[in-house]
């Protein structure tokens, strides 16, 4: 299973760092939505779903967290600890976010507006979805 982690180029100078992200350039899709999580409680795991279409880039812009990706066959855990790293998460990945540091801010750039009907929230439905995609 391939994990696609982007390392963005910071524009650093003696004042500090700045990262700029442009759709279809630094980010491999048109950005329609941005959301972020903060004040995540200790021991909390979020996510537990996949998507039919949505693509995302996850950036832990402050603090640390971990992302567990599962493509229906394999699972990988990816730590996000740098504000210049972005994890690409395709639609057909079951994802869980966990191990948030108290100061973590996890920002998500998304290719679609919020649409509950795009979510696959049941794990058995996810496995069926993966099989359907593979049988195509």
Q: Which residues are catalytic?
A: 49
87/55 Cα distance (integer angstroms): 11
Token pair belonging to 16: 């500090």
Options 26, 31, 46, 66; binder of ligand TYD; rule CB under 6 A: 46
Token pair belonging to 13: 């100078």
Interface with ligand TYD, residue 81, by CB under 6 A? no
CA distance between the termini of the chain = 19
Interface with ligand TYD, residue 96, by CB under 6 A? no
Residue pointed to by tokens 């759709």: 23
**Which phi and psi angles does 129 have, rounded to 5°?**
-60, -45
| Shortest spacing between CB 96 and ligand TYD, in angstroms | 9
Interface with ligand TYD, residue 35, by CB under 6 A? yes
| Shortest spacing between CB 49 and ligand TYD, in angstroms | 6
108 or 130, CB closer to ligand TYD?
108
Beta carbons of 97 and 21 less than 8 angstroms apart: no
| Interaction mask 99-118, ligand TYD, x per CB under 6 A | ---------------x----
């Amino acid at each position: 299973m391939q994990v696609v982690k982007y390392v963005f180029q910071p524009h650093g100078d003696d004042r500090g760092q700045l990262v700029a992200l442009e759709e279809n350039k630094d980010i491999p899709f048109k950005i329609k939505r941005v959301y972020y999580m903060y004040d995540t409680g200790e021991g909390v795991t979020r996510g537990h779903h996949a998507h039919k279409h949505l693509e995302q880039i996850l950036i832990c812009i402050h603090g640390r967290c971990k992302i567990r990706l599962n493509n229906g066959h394999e699972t990988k855990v990816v730590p996000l600890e740098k504000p210049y790293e972005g994890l690409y998460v395709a639609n057909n990945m079951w994802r869980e976010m966990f191990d948030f540091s108290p100061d973590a801010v996890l920002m998500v750039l998304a290719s679609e507006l919020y649409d509950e009907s795009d979510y696959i929230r049941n794990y058995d439905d996810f496995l069926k979805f993966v099989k359907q995609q593979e049988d195509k």
